[in-house]
Amino acid sequence: MRLGRSLLLAFLTVGPAALAEEGMWLLNDFPSKEVGAKYGFAPTQAWLDKVRLGAIKLGMGCSASLVSKRGLVMTNHHCVRDCISDLSTPEHDYLEAGFVAASDAEERRCPKLEANQLVEITDVTDRVLGAAKGLEGAAYGQAIKQEMTRIEGACATSAALRCDVVTLFHGGKYHLYKYRRFQDVRLAAAPEFPMAAFGGYPDNFNFPRYGFDVAFVRVYDNGQPAVTPDALPWAKTPAKEGDLTFVAGSPGGTERVQTVEQLAYQRDVNLPRAMVRLSELRGTLLQFAQGNPDLWRTTRARIRTVENGLKGLTGRQAWLADPAAFERKRTEDTALRSAVKADPAKEAKYGQAWDAIARAVTAERRLSPRFQLEEQAQGFGSDFFDIARGLVRAAAERPKPSTERLREYTDARLPGLRQYLLRDVPISRPLERATLTVGLRRLRDTLGPDDPYVQTVMGKQSPEDLAREVVDGTHLDEAKVREALWEGGEAAIAASTDPMIGLARRADPGARAVRKSVEDEVESVLARNGELLHQAHVAVHGTSGYPDGTLTLRLSYGTITGWEEGGRKVPAMTFLSGLYARDTGKYPFAVAPSWLQARPKLEATMPFDMASTHDVIGGNSGSPMINRQGEVVGVIFDGNIPSLGGDYGYDAATNRAVTLHGRAILEGLEKVYGAGRLVKEIRGR
Amino acid sequence: MRLGRSLLLAFLTVGPAALAEEGMWLLNDFPSKEVGAKYGFAPTQAWLDKVRLGAIKLGMGCSASLVSKRGLVMTNHHCVRDCISDLSTPEHDYLEAGFVAASDAEERRCPKLEANQLVEITDVTDRVLGAAKGLEGAAYGQAIKQEMTRIEGACATSAALRCDVVTLFHGGKYHLYKYRRFQDVRLAAAPEFPMAAFGGYPDNFNFPRYGFDVAFVRVYDNGQPAVTPDALPWAKTPAKEGDLTFVAGSPGGTERVQTVEQLAYQRDVNLPRAMVRLSELRGTLLQFAQGNPDLWRTTRARIRTVENGLKGLTGRQAWLADPAAFERKRTEDTALRSAVKADPAKEAKYGQAWDAIARAVTAERRLSPRFQLEEQAQGFGSDFFDIARGLVRAAAERPKPSTERLREYTDARLPGLRQYLLRDVPISRPLERATLTVGLRRLRDTLGPDDPYVQTVMGKQSPEDLAREVVDGTHLDEAKVREALWEGGEAAIAASTDPMIGLARRADPGARAVRKSVEDEVESVLARNGELLHQAHVAVHGTSGYPDGTLTLRLSYGTITGWEEGGRKVPAMTFLSGLYARDTGKYPFAVAPSWLQARPKLEATMPFDMASTHDVIGGNSGSPMINRQGEVVGVIFDGNIPSLGGDYGYDAATNRAVTLHGRAILEGLEKVYGAGRLVKEIRGR
């Protein structure tokens, strides 16, 4: 109720700029004037450009920053957890023990990781919208997609560049983002997983907090540490409560202008369904790993991912389930609709959007169960299947002209896809059997045994039997098998007797069909009318807003401060002494031996984690927190529970980001992990 | 959408009687006139009394019927699954193999099962409401509770009687139900679990269907088969499509008159939370039992229970998540509120209900997470804990006057409780460790490690460690230990060093405190104002209605017929040939060897399962389906997916009960299971 009440107050003010510290701002359209008026510091475009070049986007949906001129990159531990897991063996378990490279030579390549630096932004709105002029429905979406693919293709002149046309304001603007690609990313230092994830599921999205969720990787060029003059300097003065700071990172897809129908679909259908799915998977995986150290080692990272997703979705759903919050969104929607109706010119332009969106949501309710099962859900929850599907589809798509392919198989995307599919990583067969069993079971549970797709994919086999057969029988763990299938194309795929390829072949036609329906009846309609909705929003509320998060670089501003929760004051910062007080000796509340040993060398009053009002969300993980001087003062790794509603709205009274303090980072590196080498480098000495 | 549309049409008609075949009618207030007008058959009170005496309520929330004068009772297999599981051993696995007693002597007592026959109904409304006259809030609820306890105590003059004051119309009426108690219930015949649950999770709540979900128990009196002259005769003519039939059983708690706030709480908060909880448990249990026949044997019944609950909750939530259905309920609520407001006399009497209910729901949103964790959720999911809590509470409650105890510890309830707590059943320690770990984990996940209750219950132990300690260390599996604790009362409980008793002692104060808050702020308010709401409903819509289901005996009427689903016609009946066509040889679609062997002896065209329009819901499981002559023609065992919204509403276009056909029952008994002895008895020969 607390959240809802203050949201209602927030709504009584007018216009986005009035909502204190709300906003995920574009770096080429930052509200410097407003920030200057409020805080006495107005970032210049030169300041913003420096921040843009110091920020790094990590391949798998995380943020990071360059912190030395020799390519050292800071991010969260949880952003490179897959890499650490992939590099671990029973003998060298870097998740359990942590990892510190004593020299460049000891740094280890992360097989799946890519890092991108945003070197240029170009507005291509006119070109993209021009290509779709006069079109509607599926044709509109198709034209947009093709033009985006053409622009990206022309930009990506070398494998060292990545070019994405980014959709902003739900299609109101299109920007071409040109990235410098770093495909050779090596792990330099990481704490123990139990310290990074200290507090586990119970503490996740909570504060006070004691996570040491940081890790360092280094980007390489031609086998040498990359030369990165754009690195952000480290702060000489540590951050303290009340400081104005900035967060540069790539928040994921928010949806802050939505109709009531869209929000109700999330609250009533989509989020509960996803929560139920992840909950079953969580129970399965925890029981799977229970009491078996080997299985625990290969599973704990996946468990953490599932638990994090589950708690995040739960918070989002709870936000929408709060009647006051939902009524605020309903009021916003109704007010926008009325304002449009009241003006014949606006009504003619935007009025159709509401009904069209309502129809698309109705279609989504009908199509999404099948779509999520057949096309999404990470390939029935199996890494092997995900690879098999990628190979099957690449073979089918590559002979087509780039503009007619599925989006993720266009020429611009092929190099990254190839790297992803041919990467050399260990896959645990026991874990694959467990997760694929769950995935296939869900398929049959939901669609029923009589469903033609279920019969095509599973025949009369049980989920367990089919999972065992295809996981035990596949050779896709051998890089040369995958390479032969990639190079061999359609003929090789058709001739393959690998049972996982066979499963992917059977699954593909149905999945493509439902994807097509969703693209035509849902996504195209929502894209076109979401654009109208946002244009209406801009037409009614003015142009000083920020676009929804799109996993691309943004800047948020805010202050380091606590909040009130049920009459109780939550502090702005935690200190080292609190970490030791919370130690129970048992996961997830066990302080690692390294920190117990280093305790005499550390000040008990050293700041540890901090809460701040920045408007961040998933995707911001690993974002640097920056002071007025453009210096790094910490690394964002989480938000609190109220921040989980960030997809839909922001409330300065309760919404908090959670950051690991810069001083704790350097002290930890030097005194706990013996990584003085990196500390010197970060300090520029 | 289909469901929602026809519901809207239904709403356009006026009054309950116009809603074809909706209704769970009292046997002393059946709409015989309306049924007679529509079908040409009006049940007389004598006919209704015969049906009442032939119906049986089973202790654990199921329905049944007397089908011979020697105490033979028919119900569903899933209603006695716990018993069959309890009687099974690794050598004699009756769930897997089925069970047929060749003589009375071979019938085996079900340790937990009690059967009740409703011998008398008395209206005690005036007495109960008189005792609470002029009171409000907590005092009102307390007075009602105490008067009910007094009435029950005066009625229950022997251990062979059970007396319950039943709350009807949400407190609009109170009836005293006097039951003949049968505490010696023995298993006579049951098919294999895979036949009873044929189709498993995917087919559950679906049709066409091939479940053979029937079982027979016998009630005993002084060690002899009870004399039961009230048994219902078996039909001479099998039921066929289009027949008018009746279903006598005890539907569970429906809530068909609710405010929008109550429904939104279910849709947005309570149902998703329960779905998530059961989903995690399902994943845990399936993985726990995977590949281990012994664990599968001790777990499969629990898995089926969890899966059934999960699918049922999912259907209920989906019903409320359908915008058309929810809007229909909103319209009903708004219309009732307006009708009350429009009449000053009504407004003075009932007008307060809406705001009071809204406040109670707000309190429920705040209190329910803790209440469900500490007081409900089946004692952290552990049978041992459930027993320990019962012993701890019985010791604390028994010294108090009966009227001041927690409801389930009143004098009238003590005999049943003692039997339950001292029953001799095997409890699987590995399963207990797994489920208690999940329960304790959920407690800490939800309330957080800093919560005082969590600290009291768990200290700094991990869920796994604590579960292992108390499950491995308890002696509550020994009947004499439990008996000593029951007899020894408070002193024995205080002195006990049993770790499970210790856990229950630590858990009790907090659980009692939150229960008190819920009783005072939620339950009392909802009881008092739910009564007003229903009185308002009666005042506006007339008195021809039926009260919400309350797990007490009701009669529904309807016809055997199919329905339309997405343009596809779903048939009214299935036939034996379809069972064999569905056989895959793999659980849950494996036809048992007994049915494969008997195939030549059976007619392929024999009716198997049937769909009908009866308004039934959970609790109706095991209800006899009866023809105009008062003869048994089948046993209800399920409803279809649309019927899962039955808590909130009924739609004759899609709502279907699922029944095992009487002919299939007798043919199966005789030709598949060699239980000709029972068939002769049922036929009265």
pLDDT digits (tens, 9 = 90+) for B403-447: 899 989 999 889 889 988 998 778 899 999 999 999 999 999 999
The identity of residue B152, as a single letter, is E
Which of B276, B321, B586 lies nearest to residue A276, judging by beta carbons? B276
- Across chain B, which distance is largest between two alpha carbons, in Å? 72
Cβ pair B586:A279 closer than 8 A: no
- Distance (Å, whole) CA A133 – CA A147: 12
Distance from CA of A284 to the nearest CA of B (A): 4
What would the mean pLDDT of B357-365 be, rounded to a whole number?
97
Tokens of A525: 């309609």
What would the mean pLDDT of A609-613 be, rounded to a whole number?
97
Cβ pair A465:B276 closer than 8 A: no
A16 has pLDDT over 50: no
pLDDT-derived band at B15, boundaries 50, 70, 90: very low
Residue A170's pLDDT is: 75
Give residues with Cβ within 8 angstroms of A470, minimum separation 6. A384, A385, A436, A499, A500, A502, A503
Average pLDDT, chain B: 92
What would the mean pLDDT of A544-556 be, rounded to a whole number?
89
Tokens of A81: 């957890």
Searching chain B, which residue's CA lies closest to the CA of residue A274? Answer: B276
* Residues in chain A, total: 685
The whole-model pTM stands at 0.86
Which of B199, B284, B460 lies nearest to residue A584, judging by beta carbons? B460
Tokens of B126: 């005036």
Tokens of B389: 């809590």
What would the mean pLDDT of B336-347 be, rounded to a whole number?
97
Residue B89's pLDDT is: 83
- The helix (H) or strand (E) run that includes residue A471 is helix A463-473
Chain B residues near residue A263 by CB distance under 8 angstroms: none
What would the mean pLDDT of A660-669 be, rounded to a whole number?
98
Which of A276, A286, A437 lies nearest to residue B279, judging by beta carbons? A276
What would the mean pLDDT of B560-589 be, rounded to a whole number?
90
A10 has pLDDT over 50: no
| Residue located via tokens 């030395």 | A68
Size of interface A-B (CB pairs under 8 A): 116
Chain B residues near residue A279 by CB distance under 8 angstroms: 275-277, 279-280, 283
Distance from CA of B281 to the nearest CA of A (A): 6
- Distance (Å, whole) CA A622 – CA A213: 9
Q: Of A493, A290, A299, give the one whose Cα is nearest residue A397.
A: A493
pLDDT-derived band at B596, boundaries 50, 70, 90: very high
- Distance (Å, whole) CA A175 – CA A28: 11
Given a contact cutoff of 8 angstroms between Cβ atoms, the answer to whether A221 and A182 are in contact is yes
Chain B residues near residue A460 by CB distance under 8 angstroms: 584-586, 589
Lowest mean pLDDT among A93-107, A576-590, B94-108: A576-590
* Torsion sign across C-alpha atoms B530, B536, B540, B545: positive
- Cα A276 to Cα A269, A464, B205, B304, B633, distances in angstroms: 11, 20, 19, 17, 39
- Distance (Å, whole) CA A668 – CA B628: 82
Strand partners, B173: B168
Which of A202, A284, A584 lies nearest to residue B286, judging by beta carbons? A284
The identity of residue A549, as a single letter, is G
Lowest mean pLDDT among A342-351, A506-515, B200-209, B625-634: B200-209
Give residues with Cβ within 8 angstroms of B222, minimum separation 6. none
Percent of chain A with pLDDT over 90: 77
- Strand, coil or helix: A265: helix
Residue B18's pLDDT is: 36
Q: Within an 8 Å CB–CB cutoff, is residue A598 touching chain B?
A: no
Distance from CA of A626 to the nearest CA of B (A): 31
Distance from CA of B260 to the nearest CA of A (A): 11
Q: Strand B173-182 relative to strand A108-109: parallel, antiparallel, unpaired?
A: unpaired
Cβ pair A462:B438 closer than 8 A: no
- Distance (Å, whole) CA B244 – CA A55: 73
Tokens of B402: 């009966």
What would the mean pLDDT of B294-300 be, rounded to a whole number?
86
* Torsion sign across C-alpha atoms B36, B39, B45, B47: positive
Assign residue A585 a region (left: φ > 0; alpha: ψ between -120 and 50; beta: otherwise): left
- Distance (Å, whole) CA B386 – CA B493: 15
Q: Of B630, B617, B632, give the one whose Cα is nearest residue B665.
A: B632
- Distance (Å, whole) CA B84 – CA B94: 6
What would the mean pLDDT of B26-42 be, rounded to a whole number?
94
What would the mean pLDDT of A77-103 be, rounded to a whole number?
92
- Distance (Å, whole) CA B545 – CA B22: 10
Q: Strand A657-661 relative to strand A62-66: parallel, antiparallel, unpaired?
A: unpaired
Which of B261, B282, B585 lies nearest to residue A283, judging by beta carbons? B282
- Strand, coil or helix: B27: coil
Tokens of B304: 């089926």
Cα radius of gyration rounded to whole Å, chain B = 25
pLDDT-derived band at A41, boundaries 50, 70, 90: very high
Residue B542's pLDDT is: 67
Residue A14's pLDDT is: 31
Tokens of B381: 């999911």
Residue A652's pLDDT is: 86
Residue B9's pLDDT is: 30
Searching chain A, which residue's CA lies closest to the CA of residue B316? Answer: A268
pLDDT-derived band at B112, boundaries 50, 70, 90: confident
Cβ pair A586:B264 closer than 8 A: no
Asked, as a colleague might, if the bond just before A588 is cis with ω within 30 of 0, I would say yes
In terms of DSSP H, where are the helices of B619-674? Answer: 662-667
Cα radius of gyration rounded to whole Å, chain A = 25
B8 has pLDDT over 60: no
Cβ pair A1:B366 closer than 8 A: yes
Tokens of A387: 């690879």
Chain A residues near residue B205 by CB distance under 8 angstroms: none
- Distance (Å, whole) CA B273 – CA B263: 14
- In A171-319, at which residue ranges do the beta strands (DSSP E only) sit? 173-182, 184-190, 215-221, 224-225, 244-249
CB count in 10 Å sphere of residue B341? 13
B655 has pLDDT over 80: yes
| Residue located via tokens 């209750």 | B453
Top pLDDT among A512 and B9 is at A512
Q: Within an 8 Å CB–CB cutoff, is residue B538 touching chain A?
A: no
Given a contact cutoff of 8 angstroms between Cβ atoms, the answer to whether B249 and B58 are in contact is no
Q: Within an 8 Å CB–CB cutoff, is residue B317 touching chain A?
A: yes
Q: Of B572, B591, B395, give the one whose Cα is nearest residue B490.
A: B395
The identity of residue A683, as a single letter, is R
Q: Of A146, A107, A102, give the one whose Cα is nearest residue A128.
A: A146
Chain B residues near residue A590 by CB distance under 8 angstroms: none
* DSSP calls for A542-593: -S---PPP-SS-EEEEEEB--EEETTEEEPSEEEHHHHHHT--SSTTSPPPH
Cβ pair B287:A282 closer than 8 A: no
Cβ pair A448:B277 closer than 8 A: no
Distance from CA of B246 to the nearest CA of A (A): 30
pLDDT-derived band at A542, boundaries 50, 70, 90: low
